[in-house]
Amino acid sequence: MSTKSVAVDFGDKKLNIDVPDHASVVEFEDPPFLQDPAASIRETLAKPYSSPPLAELIKPGMRVAIGFDDITRPNTPPRTILPIIVEELLAKGVKQRDIVFVNACSNHRKNTRAELANHLGPEIFGTFWGTGQILNHDCTDQEQLQYFGITDGGRYVEMNKHFVNADLMIYQGNVAAGAWRSYTGTGVAVGLASTRSIASHHSFHGIPEPAVKVNAEKKAAAAPRKRIPSVKEEMTDYLDEALGRKVFYINSFNGSGGRMAGIFAGYADGVKPPAWELAEKYVRRPTPEADVLIVGLPASYSYGSSNNTLIATVGATVPPRYCPEAPVLREGGVVIACSPANGHIDADRFPSYQPAIDLYARYFSSRDMVDHEDEFDHRPDFRHKYTHGYGYPPLHAFWLFYENEYLLKRAGAVIMAGTPNPGAFRALGLTPARNFDEAWQIAKKYVGANPRTVVAPTFWSKPRIKFDVPR
């Protein structure tokens, strides 16, 4: 079999691997960037989608809350967008003291002073930090949360008081690929929600069994005129009705380094269609169905260091969920993740991760862990590190286990190639291998000597893609 060399992410360096000549290499390619981002921002604020111009929504004496995506998203958009928002507010008579910024860190960890300074930039941070006007969202503190009710779909709507009690709510977000057909953006319903609210759609209590989901999709396809709203749309609509007013969004679609390729402002129902349309052009990448999917893992992504066993495992198992049409990995196929991950978990930053891994050892499936959610969520040591120590909240480990479930059931094997700590990954259901060549030999036992191969060398170090596999 003739081969070619492909350089894939491998910790803090690149690893050259030999793959079949016919292997498809799939990665993000940058779109044309905005030539004058500031001008584009001002233009879309003046001509937003499905809402009056921002200037018409602002009244003198208003209390204004500005939510923003946390540091898991790039910092170029907030550094560019937020000063222009503040400029408009002040010009229309809002007092500087009546503006509050809320870091929409969802069920992620709170961000440190230094991280917020880097994310927001000197103009916003220098003006508003010293007076206590930049806040981290807390998904567990009932004193900072307001309950609105339960949607028809059974989703619990409980949101950050600092944000929803303002006279004008503005949210700066990012449009990026999400699992299946979804994209991020319009993030209040998740980014500023309580743990209980997030659990109502992230937990297995709120996620149907695969067979149930398939049947629901078949019914929807048979009656396409009756479109079922997404969970986020359902919660957003419920919140809008409960408040009697809407959030004004300004979302960007970004390329490498967070450089902006499109800006979309207005209410949620208006900004979503054009933003998703632009994203579809650059995020969907034509891809064949694979017997073997190879993913490179960089030194850090999403939640932190890829040395962390659970983060590295997510790096291997999540990419096959980014398929808007047909699955990229065939049933019984193999994923090879290339990483020198050593399995080290920082217990201060990720206090519940190792205990959750130990819990998983007691069960046959992560679905069985769901009955321990309340126990973990209320452990004082986990809560303290989240509230005061910038640690991830207790249930974050559970969400990652639930994300892993799809691929661990679908794949014949998930191989971590290059790890010096084989036992750490065996404990999570992965097959460790000393190097890529050994992983390839293992894969062939499942898929044969000349497998259809797809390589995603930069899935985690560039903006994420969707594998557009034809049905």
Tell whether the model's pLDDT for residue 208 goes beyond 80.
no
Question: pLDDT value at position 442?
Answer: 98
What local confidence, expressed as pLDDT, does residue 223 receive?
54
pLDDT of residue 157: 95
Q: 215 pLDDT exceeds 90?
A: no
Separation of alpha carbons 152 and 139, rounded Å: 23
Residue bearing the bigger pLDDT, 251 or 199: 251
Each residue's pLDDT tens digit, 86-121: 999 999 999 999 999 999 999 999 999 999 999 999
In this predicted structure, the answer to whether residue 357 has a pLDDT above a threshold of 60 is yes
* Position 159, amino acid: M
Question: How far apart are the C-alpha atoms of 20 and 6, rounded to whole Å?
Answer: 10
Query: What's the whole-number mean pLDDT along residues 391-418?
Result: 96
Q: Is the pLDDT of residue 226 over 60?
A: no
- Tell me the per-residue pLDDT of 144-155, one tens digit each, with 9 for 90 and over: 999 999 999 889
The pLDDT value recorded for residue 165 is: 97
Q: How far apart are CA 330 and CA 397, in angstroms?
A: 27
Tokens of 151: 């949607």
Q: Confidence class of residue 201 from pLDDT cuts 50, 70 and 90?
A: confident
Residue 192 is predicted with a pLDDT of: 97
Angle between helices 309-317 and 396-410 (to 10 degrees): 40
The pLDDT of residue 344 is above 70: yes
Predicted confidence at residue 196, as pLDDT, reads 93
pTM score over 0.85: yes
At 152-182, the pLDDT tens digits run 988 999 999 999 999 999 999 999 999 999 9
pLDDT at 204: 60
Confidence check: pLDDT of 213 > 70: no
Note every long-range contact of 30-36, with CB atoms under 8 Å and residues 24 or more positions apart, other chains counting: 30/255, 30/256, 30/259, 30/261, 30/282, 31/253, 31/255, 31/261, 31/262, 31/278, 31/281, 31/282, 32/261, 33/255, 33/259, 33/260, 33/261, 34/259, 34/260, 34/261, 34/262, 34/263
Contact 48, 173 (CB under 8 A): no
What is the predicted pLDDT for the residue at 186?
86
Structure confidence by residue, pLDDT tens digits, 299-315 = 999 899 999 999 999 99
Residues 361-379: tens digit of each pLDDT: 999 999 899 999 999 999 9
Identity at 223, one-letter amino acid code: A
At residue 217 the predicted structure's pLDDT band, cuts being 50, 70 and 90, is: very low
Element (H, E) at 463: none
